[in-house]
Amino acid sequence: MSKFNIDRFTAKYITKRDKSLFLSDIESNSVLLQRKIENKKILVIGGAGSIGSSFIKAILPYRPQTLVVVDINENALAELTRELRGTKDMFLPLDYVPYPMDYASPVFTKMFISRQGFDVVANFSAHKHVRSEKDIFSIEVMLRNNVINAKKLMDLLVQYPPEEFFCVSTDKAANPVNIMGASKRIMEDLIFSYSDKFAVKTARFANVAFSNGSLLAGFIARLQKNQPLSAPADVKRYFVSLEESGHICMLACMLGNNREIFFPKLNGEQMMRFDIIAREFLQENGYAVMECDSAEAAKRQIMELSADSKIYPVYFSESDTSGEKMFEEFYTDTECIDMNRFISLGVITGKNKIDSKKIYDFINNLEQMFNSGSTTKKEIINILCSYLSGFEHIETGKNLDEKM
């Protein structure tokens, strides 16, 4: 595989933008951004991931005083540090500390208290794949991370309230059909229940092109490992670039008002199908597509091709897995939308402070169910439905990890 330029491909084929959609809003608010970030103590949780690291790169030009980055992925954290220190003209504060730790652990609490909190806290730690709902164990770890542990963090922040708190959400939280989307929708309620103690903001946004663990990042790995490509042919998604994901989160965190949800101004015509992206990806790398009628046929074909072959086997299938929505959306009919404040961003406004007792009772019930040791996936879906009116889970009995 020849050197593949992710940014160039994303701009040409996926976002069809040669620069960040959000630059105009960043430029017009540069003075306010400077005031919100310069000389501030900033904590980024999940900062070694694709979106968290993009957020870090977005804020560093505004010269924070402190940057503490927490992530359970020790290797990714080490690489982030190498990248930041190896980038020409990249500002990095003297007080820069990357910690390979779990934000729900006792040692994280010790670290946080020892620093008497932070001015800005941004949480990117999340289970964000639909494939996370395979069985009761995968569901439990997802709900613990996205909801239960998030509450522990919010309780800790109350001791030293930040000026700004941001926690990333997802477009799948709007009219959710899977447990991951429902968990993030509940996460929104959870963080807003603390909004009388400090400013709370979030953002729902699109798939991040070539983010870690994404299908598109998998395309690169398949070519490197001489394995066929596989993609759904009937699923449409919105996309933003890696750089744009950091810009959205920075703007929401620093410029959002309390209890607001940000989303990119993208229309339905900008949604892309994965099979179309796969074709263009192969074309960009000098291959013609060889469509196969099954995953097994694609694997067989790739073994029969010569090393210098200019055709590449792919398997395009219809989506038939639990929780898979054919298209995504950023807001619901019942939410109040402001499309005028920013050039590139819409804002869901007018969110009332959430009934704390209702959300806390839900989380307590969830923990009790998990601690019982006999809870089923169906019971978890039922308790999610009891909290989220209108939640209609798509259940097919299949999950994405059963596919190539």
Q: Flag whether pLDDT at 352 surpasses 80.
A: no
Q: Flag whether pLDDT at 298 surpasses 90.
A: yes
Q: Flag whether pLDDT at 168 surpasses 70.
A: yes
Cβ atoms 12, 5 nearer than 8 A: no
What's the mean pLDDT when you consider all of the chain? 94
Helix (H) / strand (E) element for 274: namely: helix 274-284
Residues 6+ apart with CB under 8 A from 85: 92
Q: Flag whether pLDDT at 255 surpasses 90.
A: yes
Please give the structure tokens belonging to residue 228: 């066929």
Which of 312, 305, 308, 239 minimizes the C-alpha distance to 282?
312
* Helices marked H in 160-241: 179-192, 215-224
The SS3 of residue 184 is helix
pLDDT tens-digit series, residues 324-340: 888 889 999 999 999 99
* Strands annotated E in 275-369: 288-291, 311-317, 336-338, 345-349
pTM over 0.75? The answer is yes
Residues 6+ apart with CB under 8 A from 345: 22, 25, 248, 251, 252, 262, 263, 264, 265
Which of 43, 178, 194 minimizes the C-alpha distance to 124?
43
pLDDT tens-digit series, residues 92-150: 999 999 999 999 999 999 999 999 999 999 999 998 888 778 899 999 999 999 999 99
